[in-house]
Amino acid sequence: MSKIISIGQAAKLLGVHVQTMRNWEKSGKLKPDSISPGGTRRYNLDRIVAISGKEVPTVVDERKTIAYARVSSHDQKEDLVRQSQVLELYCAEHGYKYELITDLGSGMNYYKKGLTNLINQILNDEVKRLVITHKDRLLRFGAELIFSICEAKEVEVVIINKGQEKASFEEDLAKDVLEIITVFSARLYGSRSKKNKKLIDNLSKAVNDNNSNLPQDWDCIS
């Protein structure tokens, strides 16, 4: 069975830019052999070699592994260091050529700098493997969307710990929920209103005290 290569690898063999490959596709001069639902173009190696007139090369996958770590707030920086160490050790033990990306922000935030960088590299066919410590390090809700992009781009996803570290999980989740309530409360009462401030103060105290019981004066939101 003939080997299938990416548009970048095909362009390199033909000595042209990737955009030239796209232009050739539009004009009908050279169409890809397959296009995935995610838009990934693949070419038959034998066909590209025949066009180029070169000998069949040994195709080396030059894509890298990305190790991604995230915490929700500045006071969790020690956890970020621990995550990074676990990821680096795992990648080193498996002989991966890797890049470490660290993020600081809520699991509800889809626009974190590191996450955006990760997605862009995946879409640009620069990533072979994604390594994370836990599934929710990507996003609290919506990690499956990233996994679908990885599948379309043929990126392997490695989750080191399939279970959850309960304490860290509950702390992160509480802060994410607090962020959501803060946003909606500000919209409902106005960001500078006394009622909004009282609600957020009560919620913050509950989170910081790690207490599951709501404050007695919770009727401030009624």
Q: List active site positions.
A: 72
Q: Do 131 and 91 contact (CB within 8 A), yes or no?
A: yes
Q: How many CB atoms lie within 10 A of CB 96?
A: 18
Q: Do 182 and 158 contact (CB within 8 A), yes or no?
A: no
Greatest CA separation for the chain: 79
Q: Do 65 and 129 contact (CB within 8 A), yes or no?
A: yes
Q: How many CB atoms lie within 10 A of CB 203?
A: 20
